Amino acid sequence: MTDIDKTAEPADTPVAGAEAIKAIPVRHYGRYVAAVIAIAILVAIIYAFGQGKINWNAVPDYFFDDRIMTGVSKTLLLTVLSMLIGIVGGILLAVMRLSKNPVTSSIAWFYIWFFRGTPVLVQLFLWFNLGLVFEYINLMPFYKDYWSNFMTPLLTALLGLGLNEAAYMAEICRAGLLAVDEGQTEAAHALGMSHSKTLRRVVIPQAMRVIVPPTGNEVINMLKTTSLVAAVQYPELFRYAQDIGQNSGAPVEMYFLAAAWYLIMTSVLSVGQYYIERYYARGSSRQLPPTPWQKVKANMLSLGRPKGAVGA
Amino acid sequence: MTDKLSKTQDAPAKGTVPMVRAQGVHKSFGHVEVLKGIDLEVKPGEVFCLIGPSGSGKSTFLRCINHLEKINAGRLYVDGELVGYRQQGDKLYELRDREVAMKRRDIGMVFQRFNLFPHMTALENVMEAPVQVKGASRSQAKERAMQLLDRVGLGDRAGHYPSQLSGGQQQRVAIARALAMDPKLMLFDEPTSALDPELVGDVLDVMRDLAESGMTMVVVTHEMGFAREVGDSLVFMDGGVVVESGNPRDVLTNPQHERTQSFLSKVL
């Protein structure tokens, strides 16, 4: 392989004595026009907000307010727990859908059809209002209580978000499992590995490469979707920001504040996702891309050296 | 390895049990009948070559031997035991997945497309089955894996991932991986067909070395040179049946059947 590459390479270097190309590049006037328009619109928006009576000081004043901090932690808690329900449920549903048992696979199909086909806000309200039709809950020998004691706002939120998420995660997991080459399963079976071991040691680690990126997106999505549960009386970041805004007379400022917190959290999650993706990419590409920190180090080492000297 | 080899070499002297015995093996995919009654025997310690045009059913037959494909009719035995079923009286009982897996431990397989585990290094690929299936300790498995990688000439590539190896190197790792389970039978499914011509030689050298050590091998191949030099028996298949069989040197130089003649005239 490498030998062939080497022999092919000299073709790219110009023949000695040949005239170098010095051409006048094409001017893309359309790009200048587009840039000017975009900047003009941006300036107009900034100017408009400058004209608005926005009390920007309210944002830093309340940024680390106790209620906001509680809201942030509850938003994170809700995200983590709902995703946990979503991932566990999603794996279960994916396995059910891929199983050879027609009963389990059709039940999984039906679940996904229902939960993906209805808006999550409708599902949240449905869980929230089940108390209107059920007086108490009775899990025969284990648990018995009034419905209103059982279905707390937290449980409503978790069921609404988690069960909905499970349907999406199921499709992500299924796609990941199907993306692994059949030859991998055959090779593992030929070595005498059982079905479960093949799945655990060979198929799932490779499926993860396909599963992780969309799952990261789902986490970020979930973090934002948690703001919907304000509608079912569970207080989290958005709800607290709204409350403060109404009491302090600075509602718009508090929405900016909430947006800033959501941005901070989603940005941190994106960084985490990058490293997880990198971990599961091992073996799939010849050279892993450097981490940002490695890039910084490499750049510092290359300071003072001519550009291009650090090839690797 | 050596004690294992002496065992396989004893076997023919001891007796009559062939390593592989096929009796009227039929296999269909839907309405397409791929194998139409295969009868053959592979003796222990023998290098058994299967040749024929693509679509002749030779790869399918190979995959039936370790039950990657289920046969529809006939009987297939490996080392005297029925493949995939248990017979009690005149009734056949399908084996459980676990029992099938148990039998596959003794049968190594090398694929046309290598099928190495891409998320593991060469060393981890070779260690995987002994540790996970046989329950060998990691240190033991590692030592043995290093020996095997040395044997296929890749001791210095142990830490490389498959994507960092050439096709020929990957295939040799795949052979080492199969050998790590100490199989009594090795199946090769066109092991050199996906390789650049200049890399074929290294893989064939490893297989030749393996044959000389007395391993029983069933090889589906298009390498007539290998079949002639290393093979003990050869079968020419076409259209799901065995057309001609015998000593490779006889069949390849002096084919009796018209179909064999026309195939060989195009290949050689």
Of B101, B115, B116, the CB nearest to A193: B101
Distance CA B243, CA B241 (A): 6
Of B97, B121, B174, the CB nearest to A194: B97
| pLDDT value of residue A9 | 46
Helices (H), chain B: 2-14, 58-65, 97-104, 122-132, 138-151, 167-179, 197-212, 224-230, 248-253, 258-267
| pLDDT value of residue B105 | 94
Contact A1 B108 (CB under 8 A): no
**Which residues are paired to B93 by β-bridges?**
B86
Distance CA A231, CA B175 (A): 61
- Of A1, A99, A182, A191, which to mutate for an interface test with B (greatest number of B Cβ within 10 Å)? A191
| pLDDT value of residue B15 | 58
- φ/ψ of residue B247, rounded to 5: -70, 130
| pLDDT value of residue A14 | 56
Contact A193 B129 (CB under 8 A): yes
| pLDDT value of residue B2 | 44
Tokens at residue A127, please? 């869980």
Whether the pLDDT of residue A160 is over 60: the answer is yes
| pLDDT value of residue B130 | 96
Confirm if B190 and B59 have CB atoms less than 8 A apart.
yes
Confirm if B268 and B224 have CB atoms less than 8 A apart.
yes
Q: How far apart are the first and last CA of chain A?
A: 20
- In this complex, is the C-beta atom of A99 within 8 Å of any C-beta atom belonging to chain B? no
- In this complex, is the C-beta atom of B159 within 8 Å of any C-beta atom belonging to chain A? no
Whether the pLDDT of residue A138 is over 60: the answer is yes
- In this complex, is the C-beta atom of B117 within 8 Å of any C-beta atom belonging to chain A? yes
Q: Indicate if the alpha-carbon torsion angle B175, B177, B182, B185 is positive or negative.
A: negative
- Indicate the pairing of strand B32-42 with strand B20-29: antiparallel
Distance CA A187, CA A228 (A): 47
Band (A303; pLDDT cuts 50, 70, 90): low
Of A195, A201, A283, the CB nearest to B161: A283
Which residue in chain A is spatially nearest to B62 when comparing CA positions? A190
Which residue in chain B is spatially nearest to A200 when comparing CA positions? B132
| pLDDT value of residue A4 | 45
Percent residues over pLDDT 90 in chain A: 58
Confirm if B70 and B84 have CB atoms less than 8 A apart.
yes
Residue with the larger pLDDT of the pair A183 and B7: A183
Place of tokens 């004893």: B10
Helix axis angle, B122-132 to B138-151, nearest 10°: 130
Tokens at residue B70, please? 């289920």
- Chain A positions touching B182 (Cβ under 8 A) are none
Domain spans, chain A: 57-281
- In this complex, is the C-beta atom of A285 within 8 Å of any C-beta atom belonging to chain B? yes
DSSP secondary structure string, B30-78? Answer: TTEEEEEEEEEEE-TT-EEEEE--TTSSHHHHHHHHTTSS--SEEEEEE
Distance CA B33, CA B39 (A): 16
> How far is the alpha carbon of B112 from chain A, nearest alpha carbon, in Å?
10
Q: What residues 204-263 of chain A have any CB closer than 8 A to a CB of chain B?
A: 205-206
The amino acid at residue B52 is G
Instruction: Please list the ranges in chain B whose pLDDT falls under 70.
Output: 1-15
The amino acid at residue B78 is V
List, for residues B8-29, the tens digit of each pLDDT value: 444 444 457 999 999 999 999 9
| pLDDT value of residue A106 | 96
Judged by average pLDDT, the poorest of A23-32, A295-304, B18-27, B130-139 is A295-304
Judged by average pLDDT, the poorest of A45-54, A166-175, A187-196, B239-248 is A45-54
Whether the pLDDT of residue A311 is over 80: the answer is no
| pLDDT value of residue A298 | 74
Of B101, B166, B174, the CB nearest to A192: B101
| pLDDT value of residue B267 | 83
Distance CA A65, CA A259 (A): 15
> How far is the alpha carbon of A291 from chain B, nearest alpha carbon, in Å?
20
Confirm if B163 and A285 have CB atoms less than 8 A apart.
yes
- Chain A positions touching B121 (Cβ under 8 A) are 283
- In this complex, is the C-beta atom of B119 within 8 Å of any C-beta atom belonging to chain A? yes
Confirm if B120 and B160 have CB atoms less than 8 A apart.
no
Confirm if B141 and A263 have CB atoms less than 8 A apart.
no
- Cβ-based neighbours of B141, under 8 Å, separated by 6 or more: B127, B130, B131, B180
- In this complex, is the C-beta atom of A202 within 8 Å of any C-beta atom belonging to chain B? yes
Region A261-286: mean pLDDT is 84
Of B101, B118, B132, the CB nearest to A283: B118
**Which residues are paired to B187 by β-bridges?**
B109, B218
- Pick among 1.10.3720.10, 3.40.50.12780, 1.10.3470.10, 3.40.50.970: CATH of A57-281: 1.10.3720.10
Which residue in chain A is spatially nearest to B182 when comparing CA positions? A191
Percent residues over pLDDT 70 in chain A: 88
- Say how many CB pairs under 8 Å bridge A and B: 77
Confirm if A170 and A112 have CB atoms less than 8 A apart.
yes
- In this complex, is the C-beta atom of A200 within 8 Å of any C-beta atom belonging to chain B? no
Contact A192 B105 (CB under 8 A): yes
Distance CA B62, CA B185 (A): 12
Whether the pLDDT of residue A290 is over 80: the answer is no
- Chain A positions touching B115 (Cβ under 8 A) are 181, 183-184, 186-187
Distance CA B251, CA B253 (A): 6
| pLDDT value of residue A265 | 96
> How far is the alpha carbon of B61 from chain A, nearest alpha carbon, in Å?
15
Helices (H), A99-181: 102-117, 120-129, 147-150, 153-179
| pLDDT value of residue B52 | 94
- In this complex, is the C-beta atom of B197 within 8 Å of any C-beta atom belonging to chain A? no
> How far is the alpha carbon of A186 from chain B, nearest alpha carbon, in Å?
7
Confirm if B151 and A272 have CB atoms less than 8 A apart.
no
Burial group, residue A45, by CB count within 10 angstroms (0-12, 13-18, 19+)? exposed
Nearest alpha-carbon partner for B59 in A202, A186, A184: A186
Of the CA atoms within 13 Å of residue A1, those in its CB half-sphere come to 8
| pLDDT value of residue B11 | 41
Distance CA B49, CA B191 (A): 12
- Chain A positions touching B174 (Cβ under 8 A) are 187
> How far is the alpha carbon of A91 from chain B, nearest alpha carbon, in Å?
21
- Chain A positions touching B128 (Cβ under 8 A) are 191, 201
Angle (CA) A57 A63 A68, round 5°: 135
List, for residues A77-102, the tens digit of each pLDDT value: 999 999 999 999 999 999 899 988 99
Of B98, B129, B166, the CB nearest to A191: B129
Q: What is the dihedral of CA B158, B163, B165, B171, to 10 degrees?
A: 90
| pLDDT value of residue A248 | 86
Average pLDDT, chain A: 86
ipTM metric: 0.90
